Structures are given as structure tokens and as C-alpha cells.
A and B are shown apart, each in its own frame.
Chain A
Amino acid sequence: MRRKVTVFIIVTISYLLQVTLFEALSFASISPNLLIIVVSAFGFMRGKKEGLFVGFFCGLLLDLFGGSVLGFYALLYMYIGYLNGFFRKLFYPEDLKLPLLLIAGSDLGCNLCVYVILFLLRNRFQIRYYVLHIMLPELVYTMVVTIFLYPLILKVNERLELIEKRSASKFV
């Protein structure tokens, strides 16, 4: 329960910051994707199942307030969370390379999917332009934000795991 509430708060804060503050701090109308950091992080920190659910709810939020088809982002983010879950075995909290790599991959993958499904299929063929002017800037900005946001998420998660372990050992 405690975990669910905490995750909900993290998702809420990231979402709100993404649509308000970071929109105001956008460079060349590009703003970072905080939700992908959260989804990806919970994927590789906690495994497929939690990644899947966090992804689903983040996507659902974007769907509800984005005005596009309900379920599209939910599906996309859910798969991103799930796929990140495969890397749980390789994940060590001390290591920063793998998380950065995974978050970068998730962001790029997410944007490629959006491009192919929502742009390429509408005859927008200039993939070079979209990669250079939308995906890469967003990737760079997201990585910069990751350096600050990811350690926070990691701390919160470690603390939660500690509390869970303690209360589990009480019952033994």
C-alpha cells in the first residue's frame, strides 16, 4: 500500500512538472519526457510487472489529457515498462551506466513508435528531420533531467525496499 501511494505521488509530480514547469523551460519548443524516466526506472528497478503497471498509468494520464485516442500511450508506455523489466537482473543500484542507457533507449524507442504510427502513416516521410529536430533534442534534454531525477527515484525506491524488508521480517 505504502509503495502504491508513493509511486502514485512520483508519477503525479513528474506528470505535473512535465506539462507545466518543463513546458515553460522548453528549448526550441522541446521539453523533456519525465514520465519515460519514471516508467523506465521502475521497470528495471522492480521488474516487469511493476514496470508494466507504472507504464500503463503514466500512459493513461497522457491519453486522458492529451486529447488523442484513449489507450494509445497507455499501450506504448506499458510495453516500455515491461521491456525494461527484462534488465532487472543486470541492474545494480551503484551502476549509473545501465540506467542512463535504458532510459535513453526507452525515450528513443517511444518517440520512434510515435513517429511511425502517428506521423509516417500520415505521409510525413522526412524521418531525418524528425530525428534531428524532435527526437534527438528531446533525448538530450531528457538525459540531462535524468541525471537529477533518477538518483531521487532510486533513493525513494531503496528506502521503500528497506521499509518493506523490515516489516516483512517482523512477521517471521
Chain B
Amino acid sequence: MKRKSKFVLPPKYILLIMSGICVVAMITCFTMGISGGPLQTVAGYVFVPMQRGINTVGSFLTEKADNLKNLGDVMAENEELRRQVDELTVELNTIHLEQYELENLRELLALDQKYPSYEKVAANVIGTNGSNWFNSFTINKGSNDGIDVDMNVIAGSGLVGIVTSVGPNYATVTAIINDSTQVGGTVSTTADNLIVSGSLKTMNEDMVIGFSNLRDADNEVQVGDPVVTSHISDRYQQGILIGYISSIENDANNLTKSGTITPAVNFEHIEEVLVILQKKQVVEE
């Protein structure tokens, strides 16, 4: 009596089961806001070191190539910069005096420093999300360095984005130009609030992102005005530069305006970012 009891599950049932797993994962993600958990930790330890390696090699090669190309340029630039240093030193001295005066006045007014210098940690970008649809990237620091979800990320002086998921040795940052991201902003010249929303289309076409819901009845906001993060945003620290207004249009309702903003950060070439280790304080109900 030979009977093989080897039972093989047909592919369509496997597909069904795996689909179920995916759907359950998606629902847990949506309802509970959990992303990955232990899976993320494991994946982080497997893939992040390799990404780091590739990046080190890549940046080494670019650096070498740049070095050779730029030596002549650098010499010329050096001379010009020296001249500039002299000019700036003079300017700096004047500013020092003014700063001193300002500090005195502030003390008199018992004002705190307007924007406290947040504690930051520097991180390198080691990979993107591998899709042409969304703008998010991986950085090489994670919860081991004190990074947590919802921390703001800046580069230079401008806002880059916000940490959306974190593993022990890496974190994923979603950029403000990402198509589904929205940031509450304020025009710093008039203190009018607006909503900045990332857009794949306008970013690809003109390197700008959109804004909407600007109430400006007196037509005070001008092209070129800086837009910073708003004090009413619950996830972004106040006063980080987002970009400059590049066009304004009246909405059909004649009450609000919308338009475009040129981001302050060059998103094509982000290599190093700073993560602000302080989260925005929100009163819990």
C-alpha cells in the first residue's frame, strides 16, 4: 500500500492566505498606527549596513572625481573668498555691536530668545524609498540616537520633512514635497496662515510646491515673501523656513488665495540632514 501523503497547497490558496495577511497588516497600520514593529528592526539590521556601505563607496568616488575636476576652480575661488572674508569681517564687527545692543534690549524686555536653539543630530541620507511616486528617504540614524517619529528634519536653514517611521539604526523621513504631505505655514512678513501641500506634478515641472487657504484681504503678501512653519501646526516646530512664495492667485471663492512656493532646500541633492530632537509640545486632552 504505497500512498504518498505529501500534500501541496495550490498556489491560488497561498495567494488568498497571503492576501489576507497583507490586508490585516494594512488594517492594523491604519487603525493602530503601528508600522513594521519587530520586522522593521530585523530589516533595519540587515539592509541598513549594506546601504551605508554602498553610500560610502559612492560618496568616496564622487569626492575623488570632484577633487580632480575642481582644483583649478578652487584656487580661483579661494582668492575671491579671501577678499570676501575681509569684507565680511568688517561687516561682522558692526553686526556684533548691534547684536550686543539687541541682547541688552531683549533682556530689558525680559524676552526669551525667540527661537530656542533646538538640540539636533546630524544624519546622512542612505537611500530613497525606491519609487518615483513619493518623496521619502532613509537616514542612517534611528532610535539608538534618540530619533523618534514626528521629529522635524532640516537641511541648511530650510525644512526638509518629518520622521514618519523609525528603526533602531535608521529612520524614514517624508519630505514636505511629498505628494500627500501637508504643512501648516505662516507668511513671516504678514503672519497670515496658509497650508503648504507637496505635489509631485508641480515639483517635477517647476520645482515648486503648492499652498492654499491664504487669507489676505489687504493684498499684503507679495511674491518672494518667506514662508515659515506655523505656530498652530501640531507636528512642526514654529518658525522653520519652508520656502519663498513664487506665485499667488485668487481662489474662485474670492476669500482665500493659493499659489506656489519654492522650497528653501534643494531636494535633488540632499546628503546631510539635521534632525531636531525636540518634538512639538502639544497639550494632551
Contact = CB atoms under 8 A, between A and B. Distances in A.
Interface of A: 12, 15-16, 18-21, 23-24, 28-31, 33, 35, 47-49, 52, 56, 60-72, 74-75, 78-79, 82, 85, 111, 114-115, 118-119, 122, 124, 126, 129-130, 133-134, 138
A137 to B, nearest CB: 8
10 contacts: A16-B127, A20-B58, A29-B268, A60-B39, A64-B39, A67-B129, A82-B15, A85-B11, A111-B133, A122-B180
B130 A64 contact: no
Contacts, number: 148
A126 B131 CA distance: 19
Interface in B21-63: 21-26, 28-30, 35-36, 39-40, 43, 46-47, 50-51, 54-55, 58
Nearest to A114: B133
Given A52-B15, A126-B201, A70 B36 contact: yes
A63 B39 CA distance: 11
A118 B132 CA distance: 13
Given A19-B129, A126-B201, A129-B201, A61 B43 contact: yes
Given A29-B132, A71-B29, A118-B133, A19 B36 contact: no
A90 B283 CA distance: 63
Chain B interface size band reads 35 or more
Contacts of A118: 133-134, 180
Contacts of B50: 12, 16
Contacts of A82: 11, 15
Given A21-B54, A64-B36, A71 B23 contact: yes
Given A20-B54, A133-B204, A66 B131 contact: yes
Contacts of A69: 26, 29-30, 35
B58 A24 contact: yes
A130 B51 CA distance: 30
Contacts of A20: 51, 54-55, 58, 126-127
